[in-house]
Amino acid sequence: MKRPQNLVYGLDDKPPAVIVALNGLQHCAVVSINLVIVVFVARAAGGSVQVVADVLAVAMLVLSIGTMLQTARVGPVGSGFMCPATFSATYLSPSLLAAQVGGFPLAYGMTVFGGVLEAVVAPFLNRLRAVFPTEVSGLVIFMVGVSSGVAGLRTVLGPGAAPVSGAEWVVGALTLGSMAAFNIWGSAIARMLCALIGLVVGYVAAGIAGLFDPQTVVAMAGAPIFGLPHLSHLGWSIDVTLIPPFAIASLAAAMKAAGTITMCQRMNDADWVRPEMDSIRRGVLADGLSTIVSGALGAFGTNTSTPAVGLAAATGVTSRVVAFMVAAIFFATAFLPKVAAFIAGMPRPVIVAALLFAMSFIITNGLQTMTSRLLDVRRTLVLGLSIFAGVSVEAFPVIAHSAPRALAPIMGSSLVLSAVIGFALNLLFRLGVRKTVSLTIRSETHDHQVLEDFFRKQGGMWGARPDVIDRALFGVIQLVDAVAENCWRGGPMTVTASFDEFNLDVRLSYEGTLLEFPDRRPSDHDIQESEDGVRRLAGFMLRRNADRVRSDIKDGISRVHFHFDH
Amino acid sequence: MKLSESAQDGVVVVQPQGRIDNTSVKEFGDRLAQVGGTAPYRVVIDSQETSYINSAVFRALLIARKQIEKAQGRLVLCAMPAEIMRLFEIAAVTDAFVICHNRDEGIAEARA
């Protein structure tokens, strides 16, 4: 691992205490925004202000434990990166459902189930992509945003909601408006903390408008300065009909954790070329354990905090000492009941504005993930029809009510229905896609454009990731360039490409001598002074470009095999 | 490949457009040798329009850097698309060159 130049304090550095404290506080501010999710679900479970405050105290303890699990590498657990835990929007929609159906015990029990499933799938994450390809992961993230945003709106606009007063509209608009304004026009620090600033604006506005529940004031006044979290709300139950939504949320959380840890890898290694699976597996396992601990202690699903990792990238401080500080701050806050009571009394328009703000980013994240694949007609239909299915459940709830009882767990949730249809159509539409294709080129007439057209067209049909296709294309063109200079005696070169969800294998054969693929770069002097140096540099680049390279020569025919993990 | 060249604040900016491969790398290297061998010996290569480079391009760049530094000048690369930057990374030559985000930064760095 080579330290990037832009890092001020790297992973293993020990920054001065002031830097650690200030960075720790900033990360806590970023992570705390998602405590809104805890408030939202705890209220849906019917918790009073006092009970919601108790749940929040436990939630802060969970964030402390989750951050430690992720950062400290103990046995097979923990990525070792500065990657704080937060409460996850991924679990919001299923947790709300559980809270409404079975109160706190069902929400906690199902959260434990989600965590166990994530921990179990962690070692098999790579294989999971067969049923959960990138664009379907994006679809799930997108629908998490849609379903959670709609759930937020129902609390103010739904048939069972209390009518919205004029003051509530104003406070909601001020909260959302200030979050958006600081995010778009604010300084770098204001942008990072825009949601927190918006919450402060919302609290002040709600105070002026007299929107605080009198219970909140009583709870705050009555709360001691120091105190242990109360666990009177604790209990666990399982409902099999809620397994599908929690299973999908759990798998989505695993995928998101893998993505966040990949970001950490890139930030901390200037030589980063591709995701390193060991720390991803350890990180996803830690993430699952964090959710298990959360459900066991009395809170909801957790996940790695992508905004916090983004903050570390912006400040150039990725030291894991900062993560230990984050854990310490949350641990200390768990024993300050006045803080929990203050957050627990968050007024309705503030909470909904914060949810809509956060879900806008989740939806965009889902869109970006979906479009990170080359989208051919097959994938366009998979995504389009699945989104229609999910949105139709939100628009026409009668679909769920009139569905057979056995299908209720699927038809009752826009997230689940959309994901299930996405999985099914993905498997169905892949029938008939050719997996192996060949192209023949000639040394005297080879044209890069022909190779590019060939790989782009096939990549689209396979739904391969554009970055992997780019790497394969570079490998083939660079090999052709390098061997055409010195190694190729003439005749045809055959390019064969085979693809499945996990692998892209490209085999090239030509008449001539083999190119060397050294594992060390030739010196600057060798590259400048000799053709051999340039050729060895080409081989070195090709070795690093692919995940595996194999070559041999048989009957005067050289054969090169590039393997790319997909 | 198309090569354009301009002068700005005492710095020569070379902008290769399209692919630099075996058929065009000689022209690219010759042009660098020409601008690098002439005062003010301050050269910025703006790669924003470059779509592909191969190993031979690194040779041309290393030779140009050596020539320019010998004349106490400065060679700066800037505005690299992500794919070109990736090729610098897999060639393990990012430390061998000064690389800036955009042309303005590149010119300022070349004048420093």
- Over the stretch A420-435, which tens digit does the pLDDT of each residue have? 899 899 888 877 766 7
Residue A517 belongs to a domain: yes
CA end-to-end span of chain A: 22
Of A271, A485, A527, the CB nearest to B58: A527
pLDDT at residue A476 greater than cutoff 90: yes
Residue A10 belongs to a domain: no
Residue A184 belongs to a domain: no
Residue A515 belongs to a domain: yes
Residue A4, preceding bond cis, omega within 30 degrees?
no
Quick: pLDDT tens for B44-103. 999 999 999 999 999 999 999 999 999 999 999 999 999 899 999 999 999 899 999 999
| B48 CB within 8 Å of a chain A CB | no
The residues near B4 (Cβ < 8 Å, ≥ 6 apart) are B14, B15, B17
Total CB pairs under 8 A between chain A and B: 62
Separation in Å, CA A264 to CA A231, A270, A501? 35, 12, 25
CA-CA-CA-CA torsion for A60, A65, A67, A73, nearest 10 degrees?
180
A294: containing domain: 17-155+225-349
Nearest Cα to A451, choosing from A441, A465, A460? A441
Q: Which residue has the tokens 């929040």?
A: A56
CB A70 within 8 A of CB A304: yes
| A544 CB within 8 Å of a chain B CB | yes
Please give the Cα distance from A418 to A138 (Å, whole number): 12
Range ranked top by mean pLDDT from A152-156, A219-223, A527-531, B59-63: B59-63
For residues A456 and A427, state if they share a domain.
no
**Secondary structure element (H or E) that encloses residue A394, with its range:** helix A377-395
Please give the Cα distance from A537 to B57 (Å, whole number): 11
Q: If you average pLDDT over residues A449-457, what whole number do you get?
A: 90
Domain termination site, one of A316, A349, A382: A349
Nearest Cα to A248, choosing from A382, A41, A419? A419
The structure tokens listed for A193 are 């903390």
Q: What is the largest CA-CA distance in chain B?
A: 34
What is the value of ipTM here, to two decimals?
A: 0.93
| A1 CB within 8 Å of a chain B CB | no
Quick: pLDDT tens for A231-253. 888 999 999 999 999 998 998 89
| A271 CB within 8 Å of a chain B CB | yes
Model confidence, pTM: 0.68
Higher pLDDT, residue A193 or A507: A507
A340 CA to chain B: closest CA distance, Å?
45
Predicted pLDDT of residue A448: 84
Is A99 strand, coil or helix? Answer: helix
CB B78 within 8 A of CB B102: yes
Kindly calculate the radius of gyration of chain A based on its CA atoms and give it in whole angstroms: 27
The structure tokens listed for A263 are 């970001």
Domains of chain B as residue ranges with CATH: 2-111 (3.30.750.24)
Higher pLDDT, residue A25 or A433: A25
Q: If you average pLDDT over residues B3-28, what whole number do you get?
A: 92
If one counts the domains in chain A, the total is 3
- Across all residues in chain A, what is the average pLDDT? 89
Q: At what angle do helices A92-121 and A277-297 cross, to 10 degrees?
A: 130
For residues A114 and A134, state if they share a domain.
yes
Predicted pLDDT of residue A69: 97
For residues A451 and A311, state if they share a domain.
no
| pLDDT bracket for residue A487 (50, 70, 90) | confident
CB A199 within 8 A of CB A357: no
B-chain CB neighbours of A482 within 8 Å are 54-55
Higher pLDDT, residue A423 or A300: A300
Residue A312 belongs to a domain: yes
For residues A151 and A110, state if they share a domain.
yes
Please give the Cα distance from A553 to A557 (Å, whole number): 6
For residues A146 and A250, state if they share a domain.
yes
For residues A135 and A276, state if they share a domain.
yes
Domain termination site, one of A431, A463, A480: A431
pLDDT at residue A178 greater than cutoff 90: yes
CA-CA-CA-CA torsion for A382, A115, A364, A323, nearest 10 degrees?
-150
For residues A415 and A447, state if they share a domain.
no
For residues A380 and A319, state if they share a domain.
no
| A519 CB within 8 Å of a chain B CB | no
pLDDT at residue A318 greater than cutoff 70: yes
pLDDT at residue A191 greater than cutoff 80: no
Q: How many residues does chain B have?
A: 112
The secondary structure of residue A138, as a DSSP letter, is: H
CB A427 within 8 A of CB A132: no
Of A448, A528, A545, the CB nearest to B66: A528
Strand B74-78 and strand B42-46: the pairing is parallel
Please give the Cα distance from A464 to A446 (Å, whole number): 25
| pLDDT bracket for residue A136 (50, 70, 90) | confident
Q: For A193-276, where are the alpha helices, taking DSSP H only? A: 194-208, 214-222, 243-268
For residues A263 and A277, state if they share a domain.
yes
Residues 459-488 in A contacting B (C-alpha not used; CB under 8 Å): 470, 474, 477-478, 481-482, 484-485
Of B21, B58, B62, the CB nearest to A448: B21
Separation in Å, CA A186 to CA A3, A24, A317? 30, 21, 21
Q: If you average pLDDT over residues A128-138, what whole number do you get?
A: 75
Interface touch B90/A544, C-beta < 8 Å? yes
For residues A265 and A299, state if they share a domain.
yes
Please give the Cα distance from B20 to B59 (Å, whole number): 12
Quick: pLDDT tens for A63-88. 999 999 999 999 999 999 999 999 98
| pLDDT bracket for residue A310 (50, 70, 90) | confident
Quick: pLDDT tens for A91-107. 998 999 999 999 999 99
Residue A165 belongs to a domain: no
For residues A419 and A511, state if they share a domain.
no
Count CB-CB contacts under 10 A for residue A48: 15
Q: Which residue has the tokens 């609390």?
A: A155
